Amino acid sequence: MSLKNWVLLRSVARRRAVNYTPMIMIKFRKQYHKQNTPFNWKTPTTLAIFGATLFGSSLTENTIDDKNKKKEAGAKRSDLPTYTAEEVSKHDNKSSFWVTYKHGVYDVTKFLPSHPGGEQIMNAAGLSIEPFWNVYGMHKTEEVFELLENFRIGNLHDDDVVDHSDEELWVKEPLRDKRLIVKTAKPFNAETPPEHLIAHFDTPK
């Protein structure tokens, strides 16, 4: 097989085109027939190339699928130990700072100096962070959840898991003007568009 054909075959594999591989192999077979060279599907070289193509394509597809999977923060994990709420509550200082989120237990001691809210994080020492995140809704993003899971050390005992979803403070928020530039929805924070600020001397209605 020529270098050109090999490069083409690998290129198709990397684009996850597994279904097209047999068609390409048939193309190569016809090409060899034109050159009056017998094409043997059972030769070690052919089988190795075909197998490498399928494996490479499958590996690429699995890698892309893994990247697309979103981490679910606080989901119960069978590969981690279980802690009770009492055990977690003992880690309530800067030397050992644990928190919980749903079924998850997290040791965020190393994160303390990096917390954007500074010392406010100390309010959640040894406790669930859910009540606080219900107030400061900007935490509930995919990026924050992924960061949180990096500090995961265990599961919270089933008897100690509390549903804080009904503690949401922003459920009855009033309707806002659609012209506002929303920065955060919970708690609501928005800016008035500049063109409306300079349109009148009086406050826009």
| Average pLDDT of adjacent 10-residue blocks, the chain of 205 residues | 53 48 52 54 55 54 50 88 97 97 97 93 94 85 94 97 74 82 83 87 67
pLDDT reported for residue 142:
93
| Domains: count for the chain | 3
- DSSP character at residue 128: B
Same domain, 56 and 14: yes
Dump strand ranges (E) for 65-109.
82-83, 92-93, 96-101, 104-107
CA angle 43, 6, 45 (to 5 degrees): 15
pTM, entire model = 0.54
Same domain, 185 and 158: no
Euclidean distance between CA atoms 50 and 6, whole angstroms:
10
- Domain coverage including residue 18: 3-68
pLDDT reported for residue 197:
84
Question: Which of 15, 35, 68 is where one domain is finished?
Answer: 68
205 in a structural domain? no
